[in-house]
Amino acid sequence: MVSWFNGKLERKGEFTLYRLIRFIQAKRPDIVAIDSVTELGDDLRKFLRALPPGTKLVQVTGKPGEQRTLQSLAKEHGIRTGDRFDPYEEAKVAALLASKGVGYEVLAFEDEVIVKVTRGRSHGKGGWSQDRYRKRVHNLVRDKVREIEDRLRRADIPFDLETEEKDYGLARGEFRVYASREELAGLIRPMRGGDVEVRIQPVERAELGFAPLKKEEAIRERKSIIVGIDPGITVGIAAIDLDGRIVALHSERNMPVGEVFRFISEIGHPVIIATDVSPAPGFVEKIARSFKAQLFVPRESLRVEEKNELLRDLGITVDDDHQRDALAAAYKAYLRIKPKLEHIDARLREAGLTKKSDEVKALVIAGYNLGEAMQRVTLRERKKEEEKEEPETEKSFDAEPYLKRIRELERRIELLERENEELREIIKEQRKTIGRLERKIADYDEEVRRKVLRERELEAKVRRIEVLEKQLREAKAVIERLSRDLVQVKRMNVVEVRGSAVPLKVLRVLSWGELDRIEREVGLRKGDVLFVINPAGAGKAIAEELVEKGIRAIITEKPLPEVVKEVLREAHLPFFTSEELDVKRVDEFAVVERETLEKAIEELLKRWEEEDREREAEKLLRLVEEYRIERARELERKAREELEGEKRRKREGF
């Protein structure tokens, strides 16, 4: 093993697998470079799992099936090599190639992470204390799940959550987070040994993946495409090439991030990932970061009419709305860069590089200017041609290639100067357009602001009017009710002043608490007449209390319980219903006409006296009848005894 750090190469020595892993975990390098991952054998997965976050395992010779020798790669990138059979020499070349961005990163994990939140230790057996402890732990698990959920939402990281409820808390929570381990670093920390455990497990791929370290490698080797994505339960994917032709159109339900990544990789290399909504969903941003592609977001979310218009321009029908949204996003992104692509085509025709149009366009989209992109493609082609030529052992010096190279560079410089001048003019025009549009937007914003303020003021006034109208209706209803009550009270006062009415003391219910309230507020004296609204639930004791207090009469809205009636009847305390006496009541005040009350009391007491006399007479007759029957039985018994005595004496005389 050798290390390359800050431009210095240092020989480290030979390591066992265990010591190598310990060394990597201690140093936390950016890249671990190797010429072939097959040399790790069955320990490859174990080695990948042991790498610290942020450290990449890179196979510098290329992805499987397309590998090249270290020597050919070193020659292409200007690295001098020594003994090809020296393992330290191979390690040095691998490190230098990786430092130049050569090679493919070995991907063992999906861009998905499982985060499990569970209790930290067993509850054990026990009584109340164990139950309280179990509930406390489940509440802690619930709080930790809510905390992680809040952090993921604030970081705008997509996820799915499954929970198991227990004891008004949670026994378990499992997140499937659509992000890499590096993205979660510092956001979610694992926890062990306490009441709550948090475990973070990356999702392993079924098969290893390989991603180029540099975007140019992917651009050179695979077809460049523009991809539109519509995320959701059903994911829509659309891909078009840099000439605006549709390459792929697909939609699938419950499609994970890793599957989306593989589907797009099989089509080509995306230089632009597009969405139809603004701002871009986290799912789409994740895919764009994974491919290191440009993210296209429209200034405002595309309307359905605009999407349909874009599809009509393409002259294609789709299977569902998800494919429509994805294709509209991709085509909108293509239309945005179409003028630039047409300009590139024109320049490439002048330079005779039309065969490399796709590659040059992809490099320009990736961030290179047109001159740099054309230069890279030209140099790469020349190196390939030089490699194909057989090296000559002895050859005389020939200046023609150098002169040809100088002429090419002069033409390229002239081309770049013209392109630079044109670009300056384009920038000048664009700045003027931007200034005009900014002024227009400012005027429009001011007009919108005034319109919004007027609408808000109008809405506030309408709401205020509605509130006042409601208050007015309520006030009118209260005034109307109080007016009726006032008329009734005036009538009651007139009747009471004239002495033709008896005021009643009103009880809401017939209970001890209500009796205490009446005595406390207005007093309860002998001879008072009570008016009870709801006597239900009263018992024998409270009825005896009323008799003892000397209440003259009781009037109720609802019938008295039978047990109360019996006590009042026995004590000759009159009781009536409000319907019998025509009670007039307003809230806590009630009166009854004196003449009506006196007459009702007199009639009721007279009826009770007659009933009592009838009961006494019936009782006396019953006693006389019982005495007569008893006397007849006694005489019969004596007669029977005398007859038996006479018979006995006669027998004794014989």
Q: What is the pLDDT of residues 86-123, one digit of tens each?
A: 788 888 888 888 888 888 888 887 777 889 999 876 65
Which one of 23-32, 324-333, 411-420 scores highest in mean pLDDT?
324-333
- What is the tally of helices (H) and strands (E) in the chain? 19, 19
221 pLDDT above the threshold of 60: no
326 pLDDT above the threshold of 90: yes
d(CA 343, CA 413): 18
d(CA 332, CA 240): 11
How much is the pLDDT for 32?
93
126 pLDDT above the threshold of 70: no
Domain 108-207: give its CATH architecture.
2-Layer Sandwich (3.30)
Query: Across-strand partners of 575?
Result: 554
User: In this structure, are strands 529-534 and 294-296 parallel, antiparallel, or unpaired?
Assistant: unpaired
At 113, which helix (H) or strand (E)? Answer: strand 104-119
How much is the pLDDT for 397?
46
How much is the pLDDT for 219?
47
392 pLDDT above the threshold of 50: no
Q: Three-state SS for 137?
A: helix
How much is the pLDDT for 395?
41
Token pair for residue 186?
Answer: 């510092």
How would residue 216 be classed by pLDDT, with cut points 50, 70 and 90? very low
User: In this structure, are strands 56-59 and 31-34 parallel, antiparallel, or unpaired?
Assistant: parallel
d(CA 195, CA 138): 9
How much is the pLDDT for 391?
47
At 529, which helix (H) or strand (E)? Answer: strand 529-534
Q: Report the range of poorest mean pLDDT among 142-156, 279-293, 325-339.
A: 279-293
* Residue 537 neighbours by CB distance under 10 Å: 10
- Provide the CB-side half-sphere exposure for 447 (13 A, CA): 6
Segment 562-580 shows an average pLDDT of 88
282 pLDDT above the threshold of 90: no
Asked if residue 281 has a cis previous peptide bond (ω within 30° of 0), the answer is no
Helix axes 370-388, 321-351, angle to 10 degrees: 70
Token pair for residue 650?
Answer: 């006669």
Burial 456-482 (b: 16+ CB within 10 A, else e): eeeeeeeeeeeeeeeeeeeeeeeeeee
490 pLDDT above the threshold of 70: no
DSSP symbol at 411: H
How would residue 273 be classed by pLDDT, with cut points 50, 70 and 90? very high
| Domain parsing of the chain, residue ranges | 1-102, 108-207, 214-365, 499-610
Strand spans (E) along 387-523: 501-509
Share of the chain above pLDDT 90, in %: 12
How much is the pLDDT for 218?
47
Domain 214-365: give its CATH architecture.
2-Layer Sandwich (3.30)
Chain-wide mean pLDDT for the chain? 82
Contact 117, 159 (CB under 8 A): no
Residues 6+ apart with CB under 8 A from 162: 173, 174
d(CA 633, CA 641): 12
d(CA 347, CA 363): 15
Q: How far is CA 616 from the centre of its chain?
A: 83
Segment 586-609 shows an average pLDDT of 83
Comparison of pLDDT for 411 and 382, the residue scoring more: 411
How much is the pLDDT for 122?
63
How would residue 324 be classed by pLDDT, with cut points 50, 70 and 90? very high
At 159, which helix (H) or strand (E)? Answer: strand 159-166
d(CA 215, CA 291): 9
